[in-house]
Amino acid sequence: MPPTTADSSVGPLERGLAVLRALAQAPRARLRPSELVALTGLTRSPVDRIATTLVRLGYLREDDRELVLAPRLMELGLAYLHSSGIPEALGPPAEALADELDESVSLAVPDGDAVRFVVQSNRRRTLSVSFRVGDALPAERCAPGELFAADWDVQQYAQWQARTRADPHDAGFPAVPPPRPRRARTTEAELRARAAEARENGWVLDDQRIEPGLVAVAVPVYDQEGRVVCALSVVSHTSRHSAEGLRDFALDRMRNTAEQMSRALAEVDVGPPARTPDRDHSLDAKRELGPEYLQSLARGLSVLAALDRPAGMTLSAVAEATALPRATARRSLLTLEHLGYVAIDADGHRFAPLPRVLDLGYSPLSALSLAELAQPHLTALVRELHESASVAVLDGDDVRYIARVAAGRIMSVAITVGTRFPAHATSLGRVLLAGLPNEHRARWLRNARLESFTDHTVTSADRLAAVLEQAAHDGFALVDQELEEGLRSIAVPLLGRDGQVIAAANVSLHAGRTSADEALRTVLPALRAAAERISADVALVSDAHPLPFA
């Protein structure tokens, strides 16, 4: 028996998911609690309790009286993506096809009467809209949708009819521009005819249904049983190809890639769980926060986040991964199924997340740059230390600032995003250079001009090489008045998913106020903790695709 809404476990989870969806659709993925009340129809006190719970879980952040989606929330969408196996198995051939054609390539899966992107290899130059992983399109306005509609039953067509009537301007699809005003609505007969033709041909064209100029060709990707798993699309602009021209140019190679993808799907590894069994953290939080903490919401979301194995998971595996009693895990799974986020297989044994999970903020969060990810953590660090903090990347001989939070004290150096300083004389530069592969670092040292700025600046390449070696060993660099008298700064590396140095974070100090020893004792641990939090967010955002930097 599926739980009903009268069941106490359904309410909080259902309402919590509604809050996440409202935030995901909001401009800049942020809202005030009062706006959430208006958008969800909930009253203020449940909204506050949901917010407390989601903040505690790290899924939301409070910022200036607004609630903002936090990168940790991406673990829900990532559970779906990992469980589908698609980005991992089909991302590389999609990328290879994009390289070969020098056009954008995407993979989309069916999601009710919509289409949802799970892979995007963008080569866009002239298109004004660009879709991201997690974005949804109305089926009737895109090529993949017409391929999928061939599998719809009467009920799905009815659902589609109801949606197009209720939302004629596609407001429920925030990534999509509204349809052109005088364009007639697609009728069911038209969609059925186009879907049948698409399946018959094995390809379908989108001639500017999303927006003027955008053309696409899609082909189906089948699994071993002959079911359509996803659609492979190539997307271009009328300035480069007509819709038919794009088909003639790309179709043969798309079909080869689709066949290769079918073979890759057959090899998707259904291995043992990657996660070590967790603890049920909701117990501690409940003890600490009391009635403000919604344990059933927290547990339901931990169940959703745990469902990351290909081919779904059994109840026992979910209970083990979440450290929840079986009965509790089962109730959460049935609630999630009831709400359309989880599917149960025909035998009733395995549970798997559905593409709809990507509606919970995946797309806006996946677009965050390194600078945007770092900003809230720098703000918290500056609040803790009352000293300015920054993030920079290496750019030739210089470091270039990509994020900065000033402590409000007047410093003699005025630094903004975009400011450049010579790498050799700054703590940021030292950890960035220390993070280069040996050969690359040696070449940099041979070519760099090591200008002197104060009596302390290290200007000998040999000395600098030793200093960099030390920084690589220590995992930080302290630079004492080498760029400017009176300025001391300490930096640590920010690591990417594979542990490589992708940027550096620093705190700058007034030499007269903080001794070098004191900086190491007080500033370094806080800076390291902030860097770890930034690196953890970077790892989440870049799990399924490359990270935008600035």
CB closer to ligand PHB, 12 vs 138: 138
User: Nearest to residue 429, comparing CAs of 460, 392, 457, 454?
Assistant: 392
- How near is the Cβ of 333 to ligand PHB at its closest, in Å? 32
CB closer to ligand PHB, 57 vs 210: 210
- How near is the Cβ of 169 to ligand PHB at its closest, in Å? 18
- Classify burial at 153, counting beta carbons within 10 Å of its beta carbon; exposed 0-12, middle 13-18, buried 19 or more: exposed
The answer for residues whose C-beta is within 8 angstroms of residue 431's C-beta and 6 or more apart is 471, 476, 477, 491, 492, 493, 501, 504
Cβ pair 539, 497 in contact under 8 A = yes
Stretch near ligand PHB under the rule CB under 6 A, chosen from 13-21, 141-149, 288-296, 370-378 = 141-149
- Sign of the Cα torsion 299, 14, 80, 541 reads negative
CB closer to ligand PHB, 216 vs 294: 216
User: Nearest to residue 390, comparing CAs of 380, 377, 405, 371?
Assistant: 405
Interacting residue with ligand PHB among 17, 31, 119, 142 (CB under 6 A): 142
User: By three-state DSSP, how is residue 13 classified?
Assistant: helix
Interacting residue with ligand PHB among 131, 249, 293, 351 (CB under 6 A): 131
- How near is the Cβ of 183 to ligand PHB at its closest, in Å? 15
CB closer to ligand PHB, 191 vs 301: 191
CB closer to ligand PHB, 53 vs 106: 106
Distance, in Å, from the CA atom of 389 to the CA atom of 533, rounded to the nearest integer, reads 14
- Sign of the Cα torsion 420, 423, 426, 431 reads positive
Interacting residue with ligand PHB among 233, 335, 388, 457 (CB under 6 A): 233
Site for ligand PHB, residues 320 to 359, rule: CB under 6 A: none
Stretch near ligand PHB under the rule CB under 6 A, chosen from 86-94, 137-145, 153-161, 472-480 = 137-145
Q: What is the largest CA-CA distance in the chain?
A: 81
CB closer to ligand PHB, 233 vs 542: 233
Site for ligand PHB, residues 66 to 125, rule: CB under 6 A: 106
Give how far Cα 255 sits from Cα of 118, 136, 147, 400, 493, Å.
19, 24, 14, 44, 44
Interacting residue with ligand PHB among 3, 144, 364, 493 (CB under 6 A): 144
- How near is the Cβ of 131 to ligand PHB at its closest, in Å? 4
Contact code string over 199-228 relative to ligand PHB, x by CB under 6 A: -------x---x-----x-x----------
CB closer to ligand PHB, 237 vs 309: 237
Cβ pair 401, 550 in contact under 8 A = no
235 lies in the binding site for ligand PHB (CB under 6 A) = yes
CB closer to ligand PHB, 142 vs 358: 142
The answer for residues whose C-beta is within 8 angstroms of residue 153's C-beta and 6 or more apart is none
Cβ pair 30, 22 in contact under 8 A = no
CB closer to ligand PHB, 124 vs 420: 124
CB closer to ligand PHB, 23 vs 143: 143
- Say how many residues touch ligand PHB, by CB under 6 A: 11
Cα 531–533–539 angle (5° rounding)?
100
- How near is the Cβ of 191 to ligand PHB at its closest, in Å? 14
Task: Return the structure tokens found at 63.
Answer: 């910022």
CB closer to ligand PHB, 210 vs 318: 210
Interacting residue with ligand PHB among 13, 143, 191, 434 (CB under 6 A): 143
CB closer to ligand PHB, 111 vs 387: 111
- How near is the Cβ of 362 to ligand PHB at its closest, in Å? 16
Please report which residue ranges of 110-174 form alpha helices under DSSP H.
Answer: 143-149, 154-166
- How near is the Cβ of 233 to ligand PHB at its closest, in Å? 4
Element (H, E) at 111: strand 104-111
Convert 467-495 to b/e letters by CB count within 10 Å (16 or more is b).
Answer: bbeebbeeebbbbbbbbbeebbbbbbbbb
- How near is the Cβ of 240 to ligand PHB at its closest, in Å? 14
Stretch near ligand PHB under the rule CB under 6 A, chosen from 138-146, 261-269, 299-307, 310-318 = 138-146
- How near is the Cβ of 118 to ligand PHB at its closest, in Å? 11
Cβ pair 315, 273 in contact under 8 A = no
Cα 51–53–55 angle (5° rounding)?
65
Distance, in Å, from the CA atom of 393 to the CA atom of 131, rounded to the nearest integer, reads 27
- How near is the Cβ of 130 to ligand PHB at its closest, in Å? 7
363 lies in the binding site for ligand PHB (CB under 6 A) = no
User: By three-state DSSP, how is residue 340 classified?
Assistant: coil
Residues binding ligand PHB (CB under 6 A) = 106, 131, 142-144, 206, 210, 216, 218, 233, 235
